[in-house]
Amino acid sequence: MTIYSTLLGDDFQKLHPKLQHRYALPLDETFYAEGVMSRIQNGGWLLSPFFRVASRINFLFPESGEGVPFSIANRCAINQDGEAEVAWERTFHFPKAVRKFNAKMTVDLERKLVKDYLGDVPFFYSDLNFNVTKDGFLLITSGVQKIVLGRKGLILPGPLNGRVTVLEGYDDEKGVYTIHVSIYNDLVGRLMMYAGEFKESTH
């Protein structure tokens, strides 16, 4: 049992079989995939300074584009606190820059959610809720978000939250995983959106 199957319990078996394979993630094994993001949009020029700073810790980034080559690597390992932790490394190959959007996730079984620390320097934290749709897709939505200060966190008030919605599925006809990610803030609007397809690869 890995963190996602443990969290979802019986619902894990309701996922599309390919998503069960993707999220099984045995300890010390890596899932690799490559594909293309058909569209990537950020929040526009007003937020560009923030995105440029965030890109230095492999969090958000200022670029937008279409037909952007993409790769992802997920690996589960035991962290320094003795917890099973999944590292996420997403890489976007823009014409003039290569950007990463990294995270580390652990599970909180008492609260029945995933704890998501974003970026290589864990400055930003979000609760994530995992649910299985009637089509067998994985729906991920955000909850409480914090600015991380050492071992403590400053909870962000609702208007400052970046509401995250992720829908990951599998297209049997094309033989590809599908992904749509939206990050939205009530005050400034869209922070980031990307959508595309990918296939499992060997590295």
| Exposure class string for 64-91: b at 16+ Cβ within 10 A, else e | bbeebebbbbbbbeeeeeeebbbebbbb
Tell me the pairing of strands 189-201 and 30-42.
antiparallel
Write down the pLDDT at residue 199: 99
Q: Residue 175 CA to chain centroid, in angstroms?
A: 21
The CATH number of the domain holding residue 19 is 2.40.128
Assess contact for 19 and 136: CB atoms under 8 A. Answer: yes
Give the count of domains, the chain.
1
Tell me what the mean pLDDT of segment 94-121 comes to. 97
The pTM assigned to this predicted structure is 0.95
Write down the pLDDT at residue 1: 63
d(CA 102, CA 96): 20
State which residues form the domain around 20. Answer: 3-201
Tell me what the mean pLDDT of segment 95-100 comes to. 97
- Give pLDDT tens digits for 108-166: 999 999 999 999 998 899 999 999 999 999 999 999 999 998 778 899 999 999 999 99
